[in-house]
Amino acid sequence: MERTKVKEEIIKLLNQALQLEHAARIQYLAHAELVSGLNAEPIIERLKEIAEDEKKHEDIFRKLISMLDGEPTMSMAETHSAKNIQEILEVNLKDEKHAVDVYTGILKRINELKDSLPYEHLTLEHDVRHVIMDEQEHISELKILLSRTD
């Protein structure tokens, strides 16, 4: 595959990831404002901490897009509302799993196309893998919070 085409494909995938990160950060921050009640404080704190991680992921994806001479998107993916703590945790758990699935697909594509990305492949691979590991951590944190609200 031609190098320009490969770069274009990866830029498009990274922009999809960036849209997911925009949506995730906004969603966590909005949900954090909805949580109330006696045991809310640790959950609010955790949602805001995760939002900070999503902001770091935005920065990573923007940096990778710009490394490939692409233009980082300013748009965002769909957000999902929730009415109570239980719903908030469930909806975000589902979205985190979706993010892992999408990013794992991107990682696979980066590896398939690595011969056309001799100067970028390892940086892409390393950074996308790092983001996936963070999302997996978010999944286990949300699961712990969910078991506490049961």
Binding site for Fe ion (CB under 5 A): 21, 54, 57, 96, 135, 138
For residues 6 and 99, which CB has a smaller minimum distance to Fe ion in the complex? 99
Residue whose entry in the numeric block shows the structure tokens 């900070």: 52
Classify burial at 147, counting beta carbons within 10 Å of its beta carbon; exposed 0-12, middle 13-18, buried 19 or more: exposed
Q: What is the smallest separation between the CB atom of 69 and Fe ion, expressed in angstroms?
A: 23
Q: What is the smallest separation between the CB atom of 4 and Fe ion, expressed in angstroms?
A: 28
Q: What is the smallest separation between the CB atom of 38 and Fe ion, expressed in angstroms?
A: 26
Q: What is the smallest separation between the CB atom of 131 and Fe ion, expressed in angstroms?
A: 6
- CA pair distance 41, 77, nearest whole angstrom: 28
For residues 54 and 120, which CB has a smaller minimum distance to Fe ion in the complex? 54
Distances (CA, A) of 113 to 3, 66, 86, 106: 9, 18, 41, 11
For residues 6 and 51, which CB has a smaller minimum distance to Fe ion in the complex? 51
